[in-house]
Each structure stands twice: as C-alpha cells, then as structure tokens.
Amino acid sequence: MASGQEPVNEQIVANMYASMRSELNQIYSKITELEMEASEHSLVINAIQPLDPSRRCYRMIGGVLVERTIKEVLPAVQRNKEGIEEVITRLNEASEKKKKEIAEFEAKYKIRIRKSDDEVKDEGIQKEGSAQGVLVGPASSNE
C-alpha cells in the first residue's frame, strides 16, 4: 500500500493500527534491553574505576575474551555506555513520534480499545500470581 493512500475498509484500518502498535512495542522492548545494557556498563565502570590502571582485566570483544589493562578498557567501556545512551535517547524520540502518530490515527478513525470482562478478570489473576515460579537460592540437585 502506497503511503498517503486511504485505507479501504475496517479490516485494513485494524491491521494498520495493529502494525503501528506492534512497532511501538518493539521500540519499547529495545529501549528496555538497551537500558539494561547501559546499567551493566555502569556496574563495570563503577567496579573497575577505583582500581590500579595498570591492573590486568579481561574484556569480551566480538565473542573473544582479550586481556587488557584497566587503563585501556575503562575509556572503551565509557564510550560504549555513552553510545548506548545516545541510541536510547533516539529511540525515546522515535517512541514519542510513534505515540503521536497512533493518537492521530485513533482520532482519525475513532478507534477505542475496549477490554472485555474476561480480560479484566484475567489481568487481576495474572497480577496476583505474578510472583509464582520465582526460584530463590540454589537449585537442589536431588535426582
């Protein structure tokens, strides 16, 4: 479908809307993933910063573990973290743009999200049972 072309029927509108929502969810999941990665970089930076710069450390580069000094590794890890933060900023801007686009689409086609009674009940059950299945402590090896 060429851009600027009006959707023909409700199904096409629904598909376009679902596609837009899916794109937004993908952006959110990528932001979350990158925020966790930035957090891990921060942990590494905080752990090695106070150490002697000539001390040896190991760094994974392209799947290969290499031996370097902290003096060599620390700036690289800081640069990586800054790059990740830049990408997060751009993704946040993209998510805001996508949210506006979705809001305009919803207004244009009068789209409202309705939850059925079953979905509302299911959500309550999921929230109550969300802590189930969490393993705390070492796994037992009784076989």
Sequence letter at residue 136: V
**Cα 113 from Cα 106, distance rounded (Å):** 10
Q: Roughly how many angstroms between the first and final C-alpha of the chain, as a whole number? A: 58
Query: How far is residue 63 CA from its own chain's centroid?
Result: 22
Decide if 52 is inside a domain: yes
Residue 112 tokens read as 């409202």
CB 42 within 8 A of CB 85: no
Here the CATH number for the domain that contains residue 50 is: 1.10.287.370
Decide if 88 is inside a domain: yes
Decide if 61 is inside a domain: yes
Per-residue pLDDT of the chain (143 residues), as tens digits, is 445 566 678 889 889 999 999 999 999 999 999 999 999 999 999 999 999 999 999 999 999 999 999 999 999 999 999 999 999 999 999 999 999 999 999 999 888 887 766 655 555 555 554 444 444 445 444 44
- Counting the structural domains of the chain, the total is 1
pTM tops 0.95, yes or no: no
